[in-house]
Amino acid sequence: MRNMTGHTCGSCGRPHEDLPLSYRTAAPAHWTDDLADDPNSELTADLCVISGRHFFVQGNLEIPIVGGDEVFTWGVWVSLSPDSFARTTDLWDEPGRESERPYFGWLSTELAGYPVSTLNLKTNVHTRPVGRKPYVEVEPTDHPLAVEQRTGITMARVQQLAELLLHGIRS
């Protein structure tokens, strides 16, 4: 994903060449390092199974940036039912898979920068063409993440998130 013009960091005071427009988490919130040795658990860049009973897919939760054509993207994990996960994996390399109906899922990523937890928000996971991560749509509620996905965020909010995620600074 393309980055916007640089910014002066509110944390270190130095200019940064690019303002990141995407952040991705490596695993669902429920994943722990000891699961790597569990034969019934697996974590890849796109899919995750925990103890053969919990199933996750990574997707892009996109938020429009007000006043432009760019989007800010959270790379998030969503839990799927066993049937939806099986269907997702069956169609993983199939052209035309984007015509699939959306799958219901629970957001399984805790995102920084929100005053209330983002875990377990209801979502719809929209399959995209082969090679593209699914689009994650948060249920339209009054949760700040859902509001941002509907109404967009400013570049000042993008900078605030960058400073929080890169330096741990809350503005």
Per-residue confidence (pLDDT) for residue 121, from 0 to 100: 98
| Percentage of the residues of the chain whose pLDDT score is greater than 90 | 82
In a domain, 13, yes or no: no
7-10 long-range contacts, CB within 8 A, separation 24+:
7/159, 7/162, 9/162, 9/163, 9/166, 9/167, 10/159, 10/163, 10/169, 10/171
In a domain, 170, yes or no: no
In a domain, 125, yes or no: yes
In a domain, 50, yes or no: yes
Question: How much is the pTM?
Answer: 0.88
Per-residue confidence (pLDDT) for residue 167, from 0 to 100: 74
> Residues 116, 143: contact at Cβ < 8 Å?
yes
In a domain, 69, yes or no: yes
In a domain, 4, yes or no: no
Per-residue confidence (pLDDT) for residue 2, from 0 to 100: 37
In a domain, 129, yes or no: yes
Q: What is the mean pLDDT of the chain?
A: 91
Q: Please tell me the total count of domains within the chain.
A: 1
In a domain, 86, yes or no: yes
Residue-range definition of the domain harbouring residue 131:
24-31+40-154
Q: Which residues contact 1 (CB under 8 A, 6 or more apart)?
A: 21, 22, 71, 73
Per-residue confidence (pLDDT) for residue 4, from 0 to 100: 42
Return the exposure string of 100-117: e unless at least 16 CB atoms fall within 10 Å of the residue's CB, then b. Answer: beebebbbbbebebeeee
Per-residue confidence (pLDDT) for residue 31, from 0 to 100: 98
Per-residue confidence (pLDDT) for residue 49, from 0 to 100: 98
> Residues 87, 103: contact at Cβ < 8 Å?
yes
For the residues 35-51, what does the mean pLDDT come to? 97
